[in-house]
Structure 1
Amino acid sequence: MQHSMHISRMSLTEDLVSRSFRLEVDPGPEPHRAPLADSEIEALTLRLLAECGQEPLWVFAYGSLIWKPDFAAVEARHGTATGWHRSFCLEMTRWRGSRTQPGLMMALDHGGRCNGVAFRLSDDDRLGQIRRMIRREVGTLDDASSVRWLPIQTKQGRVRALVFWAGPKGDRVLRKLPLDAVASVLARACGHMGSCAEYLYLTVKHLEEWGIRDRNLWQLQKLVASELRAIHGLDMVKIRSSA
């Protein structure tokens, strides 16, 4: 069950997020990044299915899979991935970014600990569920290396869970960016699927509903809210109205 344990109100609001949207056309895949072929998707799907074996199929969600799952879950638990933390470290020029204003996507990077949600998937059509997640989460063969099985600790014991975008590699990875630099990007980037500010807002909001507070993300939503207010002159409106 979901429980909200925190009473602090988010600085980043739906109204502020709505100001981050703009109409963007899908530019399509980047020429130098060949998307996974159907045969490669099938091979990866079959490999992961075989690696799961007869064990329950768990997926660890730490970002959008919490609020936009693409699978049939029959159980959900609070879970912790030790040795990993959330990081906006993946530059993207599509989806929630553009080639003129690249965005940042969240992944798991090494170090620390990450509290999220472990979902146990239905045993029905495991093949189809894994295939759908790969089509959604894995863009290229290089990206497939960031799909891992991680030990996730829950109150009911440890489970082995499938995790996407853990320890990504490649020229798109921008590690150890300061939070104010990340906030500047998230407040401005938007693509044909929405804005980075919306992604952050939905992630923090749903984590709060699960009683999970990520200190970095909580600070980041405050910074992005301040950026959006400054970009749209909202602080000046407050000053003028109080004068």
Structure 2
Amino acid sequence: MDEFWVFGYGSLMWNPGFSYEERIQGRMIGYRRSLCVRSWHHRGTKETPGLVLGLDRGGSCRGVAFRVALRDREETIEYLRQRELVTFVYRERVLPVRLDDGRKVQALAYVVDRTHHQYGGVVSVTEAARIVNRAVGVSGPNPVYVANTVAHLREMGIRDHWLEQVAAEIARLEGVEV
């Protein structure tokens, strides 16, 4: 392997936590960003779980690819495993990504395990907003997580219409004008 790439679709995009030599936006085909992981620690509780992002099958996902120096490969993988595989709701995969400059690379990504007990499945905008709106965990309110994610995506010029609709519905439920 002459290059090592990592694909981020959520907080990894703006807070990677590892050193990299190149950062470029790209698209992964066959997977989409989704609020499909039940969170009962960071953004919810066992009694009132929240929803956090997962990379789920179907569609496509705009995100950020990071080229990591080969000398930093093992250290980066170890860091990502500690960050992403805490409850093993994600599976480590190497998947194709088309970078915005036209290159095609293979990138390490963490996709949701649909057989894991934290997998929340496919939910509607209304159902996602209802679940998120009532959840709070040790890292704070679930609605703040969704709003911050949408804001970061917009700052990066990435539109996620489904997630934006969820954020708008949460705001409606909270009586806030968007």
Scaled by the length of structure 1, the TM-score of the pair is 0.67
Partner of residue 94, structure 1: 41
| Percent identity for Structure 1 against Structure 2 | 35
CA distance in 2, matches of 1:209, 1:122: 27
> After superposition, where does 1:70-109 map in structure 2 within 5 Å?
70-109=17-56
> After superposition, where does 1:175-214 map in structure 2 within 5 Å?
175-214=121-160
Bigger share in strand: 2
Partner of residue 143, structure 1: 89
- Deviation at residue 167 of structure 1 after TM alignment: 4.6
1:122 to 69, 72, 80: 69
Q: Which has the larger radius of gyration?
A: 1
CA distance in 2, matches of 1:147, 1:168: 13
- Deviation at residue 108 of structure 1 after TM alignment: 1.4
What SS does structure 1 have at the residue aligned with 2:34?
A: strand
After TM superposition, where is structure 1 displaced by more than 4 Å over at least 4 residues in a row? none
User: Which amino acid in the other structure matches residue 10 of structure 2?
Assistant: G
CA distance in 2, matches of 1:171, 1:93: 12
CA distance in 2, matches of 1:105, 1:212: 18
Alignment of 1:60 with 2:7, yes or no, is yes
CA distance in 2, matches of 1:59, 1:168: 21
CA distance in 1, matches of 2:151, 2:71: 30
2:105 to 159, 163, 185: 159
The answer to whether the Cα contact below 8 Å between 2:94 and 2:108 also exists between their aligned partners in 1 is yes
- The CA RMSD measured in Å over matched residues stands at 1.8
Q: Which has the higher contact order (CA 8 A, sep 6+)?
A: 1
Partner of residue 116, structure 2: 170
